[in-house]
Structure 1
Amino acid sequence: MPTAKPPAFAKADTDCINLHVLEQDGCESWLADAPATVANWARAIGFRGAIGQSVTIPGEDGLPKQVLVGYGTSKDRARRRFILAAALTSLPKGTYRLTQGIPTDERAVECLGWLLAQYQFDRYKSGQDLDRHLIAPNGIDAAHIETLAAAEFLTRDLINTPASDMGPDDLHRAAQALADQHAATLDVVADDDLLTQNFPMIHTVGRASDRRPRLLDMRWGTSGPKLALVGKGVCFDTGGLNLKPGSSMGLMKKDMGGAANVLGLAHMIMASNLSVQLRVLIPAVENSVSANAFRPGDVLTARNGMTVEINNTDAEGRLVLADALAYAAEDGPDLLVSMATLTGAARVAVGPDLAPFYTDYDTDAAVLSAAAGTAADPVWRMPFHAPYEAMIEPQIADLDNAPSGGFAGSITAALFLRRFAGDSRYMHFDIYGWTPTAAPAQPKGGALQGARALFDALPQMLGL
């Protein structure tokens, strides 16, 4: 892992194709000043600078020498991401040099989109190189953009891999490979007795599977603020004894999307040598069905001593995260973040594209929201609504893992997790981790959500 070809910009090439990006409002003016052969050809095929449009202009030898690509209007661009990538597959194969048209403050995102559009999940089926390569334009940090793209490739690969090849042991190996790449350490707790004693809810959720549950604990960096990332690593979720219907189980290979996202974020942090003491905790389990599966009505005791009444075994992600969060909080992190494909309620609230996040810190929320805009990684703040605390407090235990009624499902899950973060400065992401409909630079399948925005926000949030 990862299986995808590493994303990279092309080296300078004297035989490259010039790429002119034209806004729709300025297209006719540009054509008026262009050579008649270029302008007449563009007009003849109806090119007007709309998003996704392109025109190839050949040289005297018949080979493509320049390409016009539409950049649409500002109104159209506000509704889209990765505009340049929208025309990528319509372009002739070759190496491209960007000559004009993209505002300086938008170039980095558009170049990232070009690299992200190169992604193919070809572990089980041979893919084809798009053979459309871009020379990094002046004024962008090419190495930084390649790092961001590599992180997303890693996250996509991990989520796209079916559970037959991405169980807790496979997720362990993927984390180990990332740790080895960056000279990080990885400690693993997989012994049944140690899990039962120290991380009882992780063990309880994962014990029904013949693939042993475990807690992955990666550390990197020796100076700077302490940053702890906790990712939900449920490698497949049957729902347990509250068995999901088949239609709801089909995408459950992606239930480790939180783990995949924190590993992608960890790659960004380590590859960029961010001045933090990084810790990544991943409870890796399968929620399966067998004679020793945990039951509705059981009362579990978490690592921090709190008791949890189980009213639905399909609300298992918050249980494994609870133990990991309690463990992370014991180390006194300066910022504690969890990422999880946690609730369907979040999807109902904001759909698949937005990454909902929770925090009690208004400044952190503002910084993250601003970073999301520039990073083309949309997020949306949700409330830790204190009056709903009563909904997660049952009669016979400290907490209820699945309040009845179905109201405010994402909020009550976030409130549940906050109980285990102690006094930490805490932020939680309830992500989808999946692109259901392909879009430019966003193929159908596993997705990185919120992590790139958070990475851009971390320096300001942590005072680096």
Structure 2
Amino acid sequence: MSMKFAQLSAASIPLHVISKLECESFLSGLPAASQNWVAAQGFTGSLGSFCALPNAEGGISAVLVGYGDALGRERGRFHLGGVAANLPKGAYHIAQSPEGFDVEVEALGWLLAGYHFDKYRKQPASGAELVAPESVDVARIEAIAAGEALTRDLINTPTSDMGPEQLQAAFFDLAKAHGAVATAIVGEDLLAQNFPMIHTVGRASAQEPRLLEMRWGTAGPKLTLVGKGVCFDTGGLNIKPGASMGLMKKDMGGSAAVLGLAQMIMSLKLPLQLRVLVPAVENSIDGSAFRPSDILMSRKGLTVEINNTDAEGRLVLADALALADEEETDFVISMATLTGAARVAVGPDLAPYFCGDLDTVAALENSAKRVADPVWRMPFHTPYEAMIEPGIADLDNAPSGGFAGSITAALFLRRFVTDAPRYAHFDIYGWQPTAAAARPKGGCGQGTRAILEALPAILEL
């Protein structure tokens, strides 16, 4: 399957998307032979089912696609994409659909179902393609699909091929493709230019730590995206057990998400000024690794006591957020695979986020529903500020007690964004643990489509 729509000139097979409620009525209008065929296949309009109707030449004259009932549909999303992966090779068009059928979401789901990560092993792919429905914005949906594919590819690539150096290469490739300007501050230059915590976290790795920056656009409101780029996280001297380290190639999921979002924004040529910051490091162990009880100086001038070297993501983000805050901007967004506490709170499917601006919250919530990209607002609960103040330093990177771990991490980051009028932090998982419709097991974007949809309202584009 392609992640683009079929050419409009292609001969295409009609898809009749039918809910369970209307199935009997629809089938009654078919010729008797077709009714008998459908009955023999056991098709009743159940969600995710389909039935191909044969023509006189032994080909397919049409396909019936089950759309189930409203309750069943609420238990998932991208239902047409779930069917697309199993259809025979060919071009298809949506001939009819029931009430409640969101053609833009379902068309995007079809394209997303065409994703395969085949860098290391050839993956079987369906040849089913969709002719773009007349009512959808083809360029927009294809741009969103391409941005999501970039995010998935970056996360799925193991650290052997996606360390800080390779992440920088991908970052620069994206900038070049869209005429953006990209720069990198690497190794000891981080200290010379006052990014001490990025350097500290990444200095034990064979690949030097770095801060990547991209700028695109010369007019319009200013948007700054900051993505956590920890390409692998051993936990440092507070080393993770093997089971917890198994998925740590995805600890750069925040950077993958902001790069996917940046690609969408630049492809669609949104009228804004975009700045992307990615601290790219590997949290490794050698004689130079930072230690529990160390006290670090941050770019912001705040001191941080290290109570767990496995809470390194907030350290590198802090220096990058401080840089973001030094320049006038209208909206700062950070994205990171930051805390296990967020997963315990909302599971892998929801993208929890923190934001204190209620207009921004309203825009994100409304947009998330429109584009089937679920998010969940978590509280910047100010009374918990005391939990991140250890006494011996300004901040504690890993408060003891285990309570409110995602909230205290977000409060920690908020200390480094003091001037921007709007700030939102997304604590994403970045991984699909089991295959679902249009979302194969592996890396995935979260929150990015909701953000893209909300930007016109938030930034008055």
Q: TM-score range by the shorter chain?
A: over 0.9
Contact 2:10 2:91 in 1 (8 A): no
Which range moved further: 43-52 or 432-441? 43-52
The amino acid of 2:369's aligned partner reads G
CA distance in structure 1 between the aligned counterparts of 2:2 and 2:334, rounded to whole angstroms: 27
Counterpart residue number, 2:423: 426
2:457 aligned with 1:460:
yes
Match of 2:33 in 1: 37
Aligned equivalent of 1:135, options 131, 149, 153: 131
- The answer to whether the 8 A contact 2:2-2:111 is kept is no
Letter in 2 for 1:207: R
Structure 2: distance between partners of 1:446 and 1:461: 28
- Deviation by residue 1:352-403 (Cα, 9 ceiling, x = unmatched): 0000000011111111011001111000000000110000000110000000
Moved more, 144-153 or 187-196: 187-196
**Match of 2:53, as an amino acid?**
I
- Distance in 2, Cα, partners of 1:251 & 1:343: 14
- 8 Å CA contact 2:85, 2:114 repeated in 1: no
Structure 1 pair 158–414 and aligned structure 2 pair: CA distance change class (3 A): same
- Closer, same or farther in 2 for the Cα pair 1:394/1:377, shift >3 Å? same
Correspondence for 1:200 among 174, 189, 196: 196
Q: Supply the AA of the counterpart residue of 1:438.
A: A
Does the 8 Å CA contact 2:187/2:199 hold for their aligned counterparts? no
Please tell me whether residue 346 in structure 1 is matched to residue 346 in structure 2. Answer: no
* Structure 2 residue 458 is matched with structure 1 residue 448: no
- Counterpart residue number, 2:409: 413
Corresponding position of 2:121? 125
Secondary structure, in 3 states, of the residue corresponding to 1:371?
helix
Match of 1:28 in 2: 24
Indicate the SS of the match to 2:416.
coil
Determine the C-alpha separation between the residues in 2 that align with 1:196 and 1:207. Answer: 14
Give the secondary structure class of the aligned counterpart of 2:114. coil
Alignment of 1:237-256 (within 5 A): 237-256=233-252
CA distance in 1, matches of 2:417, 2:330: 12
The equivalent residue for 2:392 is: 396
Structure 2: distance between partners of 1:232 and 1:6: 30
Which digits, 9 at most, give the CA deviation of each residue in 1:62-94, with x for residues without a partner? Answer: 011211000111111111100112222332211
Correspondence for 2:294 among 298, 307, 312: 298
| d(CA) in 1 for partners of 2:118, 2:326 | 41
Say whether the 8 Å CA contact 1:189–1:195 is kept in structure 2.
Answer: no
Tell me the CA shift for residue 103 of structure 1: 4.8
5+ residue gaps in structure 2?
A: none
Q: Does 1:76 align with 2:72?
A: yes
Aligned partner of residue 137 in structure 1, secondary structure: coil
Q: Is the 8 A contact 1:228 1:333 kept in 2?
A: yes
2:74 is aligned with 1:87 = no
8 Å contact 2:185–2:212 — kept in the other structure?
A: yes
Q: Which runs of 5+ in 1 are unaligned?
A: none
Instruction: Give the 3-state SS of the residue equivalent to 1:12 in structure 2.
Output: coil
Q: Distance in 2 between matches of 1:284 and 1:70?
A: 45
For 1:160, the aligned partner's letter is N
- 2:352 is aligned, of 353, 356, 366, to 356
* Alignment partners' CA distance in 2, 1:191 and 1:143: 40
1:228 corresponds to 2:224? yes
Partner letter of residue 164 of structure 2?
P
Q: CA deviation at 1:196?
A: 5.1
The residue that corresponds to 1:167 in the other structure is 163
| Cα deviations by residue, 1:247-285 (Å, 9 ceiling, x for unpaired) | 000000000000000000001110111111100000000
* Alignment counterpart, residue 99 of structure 1, candidates 95, 102, 122: 95
Give the deviation of 1:428 after TM superposition. Answer: 0.2
Residue 366 (structure 1) aligned to one of 358, 362, 366: 362
Contact kept? 1:235, 1:255, Cα under 8 Å: yes
Shift of 1:12: 2.4
Secondary structure at 1:97 match in 2: strand
TM-score scaled by length of structure 2: 0.98
Corresponding residue number in structure 2 for 1:184: 180
CA contact (8 A) 1:375 1:456 kept: yes
CA contact under 8 A between 2:86 and 2:126: conserved in structure 1? Answer: no
State the shift of 1:104 in Å: 7.8
State the distance in 1 between where 2:61 and 2:10 align. Answer: 11
Instruction: Identify the residue that residue 152 of structure 1 maps to in structure 2.
Output: 148
Q: CA deviation at 1:45?
A: 1.9
Counterpart in the other structure of 1:58: 54
Alpha-carbon separation, structure 1, partners of 2:55 and 2:313: 58
Query: What SS does the aligned partner of 1:163 have?
Result: coil
Contact 1:207 1:213 in 2 (8 A): yes
- Pairwise CA RMSD: 1.2
TM-score with structure 1 setting the length = 0.97
Letter aligned with residue 451 of structure 2: L
Residues in 2 aligned to 1:13 and 1:103: alpha-carbon distance in whole angstroms: 28
Distance 1:328 1:14, change over 3 A: closer
Structure 1 position 127, deviation (Å)? 2.2
Aligned amino acid, residue 376 of structure 2: W
| Partner Cα distance (1:36, 1:230) in 2 | 60
The letter of the residue matching 1:404 is: S
- CA-to-partner distance for each residue in 1:274-320, whole Å, 9 max, x for gaps? 11110000000000000000000000000010000000000000000
- Of residues 259, 269, 273, the one that matches 1:273 is 269
**1:196-222 alpha-carbon deviations (Å, 9 max, x no partner):** 541000000000001010000000000
Tell me, yes or no, if the aligned pair for 1:309 and 1:397 is still in contact at 8 Å: yes
- CA–CA distance in structure 1, aligned partners of residues 85 and 263 of structure 2: 28
- Local SS of the residue matching 1:186: strand
Give the alignment partner of residue 439 of structure 1, picking from 425, 436, 441: 436
- Give the CA deviation at 1:42: 1.1
Does residue 383 (structure 1) correspond to residue 388 (structure 2)? The answer is no
Cα separation, 1, equivalents of 2:375 and 2:282: 28
What displacement does 1:41 show? 1.3
CA contact (8 A) 2:88 2:126 kept: no
Identity %: 61
Preserved CA contact (<8 Å) 2:85 2:113: no
- Aligned letter for 2:202? G
Q: Quickly say closer, same or farther: Cα 1:14–1:162, change in 2 above 3 A.
A: closer
